[in-house]
């Protein structure tokens, strides 16, 4: 399957993050024979609370261009950005983060970090260091075999998607068993604990959250470590 952003085709592979920035046309397409499912992360509840939601007249979907998006290839090394991009400057220099690249970075960090140090990555705008979107943040956490990761209570909420591995999460007083493809939610001010139950394989949890919006409103709080 694929998503187009302003007519540029972005291939959709399992675990990839693709953003569709505001005020930019996007379409979805499927060229395979089997059904395809993906998870949409939307800020519509926030937008509606400000009464800032609107729509324009439906247009016919444009055919995807002949080129495939490769904006992520301009940001393959940490701390380096192209002197001149071959893409139009829209404020969103990267719209696709391939899972293969993210997983490789997580595995490298896990191999180098002390065993008691959690391993996670934040997705960012590579030119500004800000979250990919103004209202939503995206992160990915790596759990070593048998590892438990504890997240303190905070005023933002998060939606988790299991990319690989099997385990369980404790959200407040509730416990959820999970496996690849499962989704769970952590509401604001709930203690969260993720447990990788596999003795020999890592687990990876992707999340999108409303932390950027909460911070911008001056409402961000996080419970200090005990």
37 within some domain = yes
Residue 212 covered by a domain: yes
Total structural domains within the chain: 1
* CATH number of the domain to which 184 belongs: 2.60.120.10
At 65 the pLDDT is: 63
- 224 in a domain, yes or no? no
The answer on pLDDT for 70 being more than 90 is no
Residue 172 lies in a domain: yes
The three-point CA angle 166-118-225 to 5° equals 115
86-142 tens-digit pLDDT: 777 788 889 999 999 999 999 999 999 998 899 999 999 998 999 999 999 999 999
User: Which residues, at least 6 apart from 17, have a Cβ–Cβ distance to it below 8 Å?
Assistant: 96, 97, 99, 102, 123, 132, 138, 206
Residue 169: domain span: 2-216
Mapping DSSP onto H, E and C, the string for the chain reads CEEEECCEEEECCCCCEECCCCCCCEEEECCCCCCCCCCCCCCHHHHHHCCCCCCCCCCCCCCCCCCECCHHHHHCCCCCCCCCCCCCCCCCCCCEECHHHHHHHHHHHHHHCCCCCCEEEECCCCCCCCCCCCCCEEEEEEECCCCEEEECCECCCEEEEEEECCEEEEECCEEEEECCCCEEEECCCCCEEEEECCCCCCEEEEEEECHHHHHHCCCCCECCCC
Mean pLDDT over 137-157 rounds to: 97
Residue 225 inside a domain? The answer is: no
Radius of gyration (C-alpha) of the chain in whole angstroms: 18
Give the mean model confidence (pLDDT) for residues 48-58.
Answer: 83
Q: How confident is the model at residue 147, as a pLDDT?
A: 97
User: Does a structural domain hold residue 38?
Assistant: yes
125 lies in a domain? yes
pLDDT tens digit sequence for 173-211 = 999 999 999 999 999 999 999 999 999 999 999 999 999
> Is 58 domain-assigned?
yes
């Amino acid at each position: 399957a694929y998503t187009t952003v302003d007519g540029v085709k972005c291939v959709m592979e399992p675990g990839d993050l693709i953003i569709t920035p505001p005020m930019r046309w996007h379409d979805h397409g499927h060229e395979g024979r089997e059904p395809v499912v993906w998870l949409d992360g939307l800020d519509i509840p926030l937008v509606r609370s400000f009464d800032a939601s609107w729509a324009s007249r439906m247009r016919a979907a444009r055919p995807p261009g002949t080129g495939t998006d490769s904006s992520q290839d301009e940001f393959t090394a940490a701390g380096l950005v192209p002197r001149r991009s071959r893409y139009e400057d829209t404020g969103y220099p990267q719209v696709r983060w391939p899972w293969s690249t993210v997983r490789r970075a997580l595995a490298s960090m896990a191999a180098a970090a002390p065993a008691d140090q959690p391993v996670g990555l934040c997705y960012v705008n590579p030119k500004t260091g800000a979250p990919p979107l103004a209202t939503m943040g995206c992160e990915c956490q790596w759990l070593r075999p048998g590892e438990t990761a504890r997240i303190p209570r905070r005023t933002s909420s998060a939606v988790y998607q299991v990319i690989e591995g099997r385990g369980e999460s404790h959200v407040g007083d509730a416990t959820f068993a999970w496996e690849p493809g499962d989704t769970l939610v952590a509401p604001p001010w709930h203690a969260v604990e993720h447990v990788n139950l596999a003795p020999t394989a890592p687990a990876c949890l992707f999340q999108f959250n409303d932390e950027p919006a909460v911070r911008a409103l001056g409402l961000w709080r996080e419970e200090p470590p005990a």
